[in-house]
A and B are shown apart, each in its own frame.
Chain A
Amino acid sequence: MTNLTDLAIRERLRQFIRETFLYMRPKQALGDEESLMRTGIVDSMGVMEVLAFLQDTWSVTVADQDLTEENLGTISAIARYVMRSVSGASPDREARDRNA
């Protein structure tokens, strides 16, 4: 169940990123581990759009302290963050535990 949801989140995120940030480059490859910020796909204003999308789609609110590249830097990272949020875990605490 978790894997299926994770896949669905990634798929939805990919679609959103393509429609919002890559509509002018439809042929560009977009890997789940590709850095969205370092490649310039998402800029600081774009982060605001990502946050609004997470809120509208999965009712996920990103706390200020979680606004990091680690949480939002790739499709995989965002999907993990969403998964943790919807499962009720504390996203920042889990991230800290994982990095410990």
Chain B
Amino acid sequence: MCGIAGISRQDELGVSLDQLGRMAAAIRHRGPDGYGFYTGPRVGLAHVRLSIIDIASGAQPMTNEAGDVIVTFNGEIFNYRELMAELKGKGHQFRTSSDTEVLVHGWEEWGAGLLDRLNGQWAFGLYDGRTQRLILARDRFGVRPLFYAVNGGTLVFASEVKALFASGLVVAAPDPVGLDQVFTFWAARPPRTPFLGVSQLEPGCYAVWENGRLRSHTVFTPSYSEDSVEDPRALEQLDELLTSSTALRLRADVPVGAYLSGGLDSSITARLAAEASPFTLHSFSITFEDPAYDEAGFQNEVAAALGTRHTVRHIRSEDIAAAFPDVIRHTETPLLRTAPVPMYHLARATAEAGIKVVLTGEGADELFLGYDLFKEVQVRLFCLRQPNSRRRPRLFDRLYPWMSAAGRGGEVWRRSFLDASPPDDPLFSHMPRFRAASWVKQFYGDGMAEPLRGVDALAELRDIMPAEHTSWTPFGRAAYLEILTLLSPYLLSSQTDRVGMAHAVESRYPFLDPRLFRFAASLPTSSKLRGLSEKRILKRWARGRIPDSVTARTKQPYRAPDAPPFTSAGAPAWVADLVEESAVARSGFFNPAAVGRLMTRCRQHQGGPREHQALVAILSTELWYRTFCLTASAVTALPESGADVVLSSAPQPTAA
């Protein structure tokens, strides 16, 4: 895993190595093992390397035989061996055994058709000197990040936004519309970001930069066409797919570890990895001081059953507050939850143990309907079929059993689901969550209210729902929205890539193999969710393979303490500084008096989850603003002298 950056100009004045060196320096944490540059008359590319495959000769940027197709690549192409063999069969000459080289030859051979052949997680910038086009591409689910900005006739792109700022070509400023999306969906919805003028390439897309214009094309979007009955061979197919997907994701020239949450999904990936790995698997877990969040018992049981070498990072409340500013610097967005912070600590522990790559269980809940949100849909639809039933709404009291009993249940609780939206609303499944997240908007100050006049994040989302969504089941629609609004822009970004790469740890996701996605999307709903029983076919597969206690337990989402780390007596001094009335008034995002009252209530242990969430959102927004918009980017360029590779091409004539 690595970091990439680049600049493409319309004129032929070239791109300075100093500019590329500053961009590379800003994301050096993603690739501490080496770096390299390419400069041409119109295009400059930079790469910082975390060496995982072909450690000896995989340095980037990398070219084809003729030197006229150049790539800077972040990610992994897991089926690179198969593609390499195919391309060699077509006469392509490979100089390395790295997956990167597959991209340049594959582009030569298939053009954009290459992307559909890739099984992996990628973000790359590829300059095709033959056509003078720069291509940006991002994997199906947005595992790897890719941001860009267009400034006049210049395109600037990078793995992280901070590298855009380091180029000196992009100024950091807040985008109220992007922030409003964060306060609706938990993350800005690609292509939007919280920064004005900064976009992110949408997952499953590639974009072509030519003659000063960027045109985006969609290669993949999740689609749901369910079979009416389960194929008799479904369990066997699942086994083949899980085994194959994991085996592909163990391809590396370094040992691969595994994160173990204590839940079903990561237990499955750890089990598969332990079986297939030639080494004793090294597993990593977070435990919490607060037993409400702790899953140590299940983690230890699985680690013992699989015989892994197990490392635990214990998280106290003060660990969350202490690392929060660093986490915001890496996630580059306000957050509504603190959950990325323990993952940041876990990645550090993983790196300290010498492990660069981990398998994790992300994706299983989206593919196999694991979240309570899907059960919520089930109960809401069940109630709507008999609106006068007084018995049916009581099922809502059985949802979210991991939450505190206070406030969970009763008429108001039930009504919050029943009244959320009508069943013909394309956002039906997610309206309770979107409404809950949007509660923080009541704290908006003048700096937000005015620019957002006439802006409706929900209406915009309804507008971009694919036409075919009406033919999907309510659960297909829910899974689509979950991937679009949460998995890609939040879970895979803030909660894994960004906090992992802060310590140069790459995550791989066996459940996000495209073949496994197609398999899961075509299963009948009943194979995934029946009544209030989730991930049924996965549990059938897991029976006898992982401890029964884990397959039998009810899904518990990964969470971390939210407000208490910032409101306890030992909270860091910066917290009070951030919410001080004049500071909040200066930034303008929130109403200073209301923020003061919120802080007081949280300190007095009043209020519930929505106020705690609001506090995290407000603190993180103020931190984010100070870190990026009020502080100038100050990085020292990585010098040309230390680069593993510096490529350049002679000036070419300007196209007429």
Which A53-93 residues have a C-beta within 8 angstroms of B? 67-69, 72
Q: A24–B608 contact, CB under 8 A? A: no
CB distance B609 to A45 under 8 Å? yes
CA distance A47 to B608 in the complex (A): 10
The answer for the CA separation of A72 and B412 in the assembled complex, in Å, is 10
Interface presence of A43 (CB below 8 A): yes
Of the stretches B190-198, B402-410, B551-559, the one at the interface is: B402-410
Asked if residues A45 and B419 are in contact (CB atoms below 8 Å), the reply is: no
**Best-surrounded residue of A25, A44, A72 (most CB of chain B within 10 A):** A44
Give complex CA distance A38, B412 in Å: 9
A42 beta carbon closer than 8 Å to chain B: yes
Give min CB distance, B599 to chain A, whole Å: 11
B443 near A47 (CB under 8 angstroms)?
Answer: no
- Complex Cα distance A45/B339, Å? 22
Bound form: Cα–Cα A23–B596 in Å: 10
Query: For A24, what are the chain B residues with a Cβ–Cβ distance below 8 Å?
Result: 442-443, 591, 594, 597-598
Q: Is the CB of A23 within 8 A of B594?
A: yes
Min C-beta distance of A12 to chain B, whole Å: 18
Interface size class of A (residues with CB under 8 A): 20 to 34
- Does A6 have its Cβ within 8 Å of any Cβ on chain B? no
CA distance A23 to B601 in the complex (A): 11
Q: Is the CB of A44 within 8 A of B610?
A: no
Tell me whether B609 and A67 are in contact (CB under 8 A).
no
Please tell me if B574 contacts chain A, counting CB pairs below 8 Å. no
Asked if B411 and A68 make an inter-chain contact with CB atoms under 8 angstroms apart, the answer reads yes
**Which of the residues A20, A25, A26, A43 comes within 8 Å of B412, measured between beta carbons?**
A43
User: For A25, what are the chain B residues with a Cβ–Cβ distance below 8 Å?
Assistant: 442
Per-position contact with A for B565-594: 1 when CB-CB < 8 Å, else 0? 000000000000000000000000001011
The reply to whether A49 and B598 form a contact with Cβ atoms under 8 Å apart is no
Interface flag for B435 (CB, 8 Å): yes
Task: Tell me whether B416 is interfacial, beta carbon within 8 Å.
Answer: yes
In the complex, A24 Cα to B614 Cα: how many Å?
A: 11
Chain B residues lying within 8 Å of A72, measured Cβ to Cβ, are 412
Which A residue sits closest to B595, measured CB to CB?
A24
B439 at the interface (CB under 8 A from A): yes
- The listed residue (A20, A23, A26, A69) touching B411 by CB distance below 8 A is A69
Partner of A44, one of B410, B419, B597, B607: B410
- Chain A residues lying within 8 Å of B606, measured Cβ to Cβ, are 20, 49
15 contacts between A and B (CB under 8 A): A20-B601, A20-B606, A23-B593, A23-B598, A24-B591, A24-B594, A40-B439, A43-B412, A44-B408, A44-B413, A45-B608, A46-B608, A48-B406, A69-B412, A72-B412
Question: Is B398 close to A, CB under 8 A?
Answer: no
Is B515 interfacial (CB-CB < 8 Å)? Answer: no
Q: Which residues on A sit within 8 Å (CB–CB) of B609?
A: 45
Flag if B610 contacts A45 (CB, 8 Å): yes
Q: How many Å lie between the Cα of A48 and that of B591 in the bound state?
A: 26
B410 A47 Cβ-Cβ under 8 A: yes
Q: Is B415 an interface residue (CB 8 A)?
A: yes
Asked if A30 CB lies within 8 Å of chain B CBs, one says no
Name the distance in Å between B128's Cβ and chain A's nearest Cβ.
53
Inter-chain contact B439/A44, CB cutoff 8 Å:
no
Query: CB-CB < 8 A to A48: which residues of B?
Result: 406-407, 608
A37 in the interface (beta carbon within 8 A): yes
B-side contacts of A38, CB under 8 Å: 415, 419
Asked whether, in the complex, the Cβ of B411 is within 8 Å of the Cβ of A45, the reply is no
Which residue on B lies nearest to A52, using beta carbons? B606
6 more A-B residue pairs beyond the given contacts A23-B598, A43-B416, A46-B608, with a C-beta to C-beta distance below 8 A: A23-B594, A24-B443, A24-B591, A24-B597, A46-B407, A69-B415
Q: How far is the CA of A2 from the CA of B167 in the complex (A)?
A: 73
**A24, A26, A42, A48 pick with most chain B CB within 10 angstroms:** A24
Q: Which 9 pairs across A and B sit closest by C-beta, in order of nearness?
A: A45-B608, A45-B407, A24-B594, A44-B413, A44-B407, A23-B597, A44-B412, A24-B442, A37-B412
**B227 CB → nearest A CB, Å:** 38
In Å, the complex CA distance between A40 and B412 comes to: 10
Task: Name B410-428 residues within 8 Å CB distance of A.
Answer: 410-413, 415-416, 419
Q: Mark B360-389, 1 if CB is under 8 A from A, else 0.
A: 000000000000000000000000000000
CB-CB under 8 A from B409, the residues of chain A are: 44
Cα separation A38 to B435 with both chains bound (whole Å): 12
Q: Kindly report which residue of chain A lies nearest to residue B438, judged by CB atoms.
A: A40
Which residue in chain B gives the minimum CB-CB distance to A45?
B608
A45/B594 contact (C-beta < 8 A), A68-B411, A69-B411 known:
no
Minimum C-beta distance from B422 to chain A (A): 15
- Given that A24-B591, A37-B412, A40-B439 are known contacts, is A47 also in contact with B407, CB under 8 Å in the complex? yes
Check A67–B610 contact: CB distance below 8 A. no
Complex: A69 Cα to B416 Cα, angstroms: 12
**Closest approach, in angstroms, between the C-beta of A52 and any C-beta of chain B?**
9
Whole-angstrom CA separation of A37 from B607 in the bound complex:
16
- Give chain B interface residues in 75-112, CB to chain A under 8 Å: none
Contact among A20, A23, A67 with B410 in the assembled complex (CB-CB below 8 Å) = A67
Q: Which of B598-617 contact A (CB under 8 A)?
A: 598, 601, 606-610
A43's contact among B411, B442, B608, by CB below 8 Å, is which? B608
- Give the residues in chain A near B411, CB-CB below 8 Å: 67-69
Q: Which residues of B lie under 8 Å from residue A47 when comparing CB positions?
A: 407, 410, 412
Q: Which residues of B contact A46 (CB under 8 A)?
A: 407, 608
The docked-state distance in angstroms from the alpha carbon of A67 to that of B407 is 11
Rounded to whole Å, the gap between the CB of A42 and the closest CB of chain B is 7
**Chain A contacts for B607, CB-based, 8 A:** 45, 49
Instruction: Output the nearest chain A residue to B414 by Cβ-Cβ distance.
Output: A44
Residues of A with C-beta under 8 A to B413: 44
In the bound complex, CA of A60 to CA of B409 (Å): 21
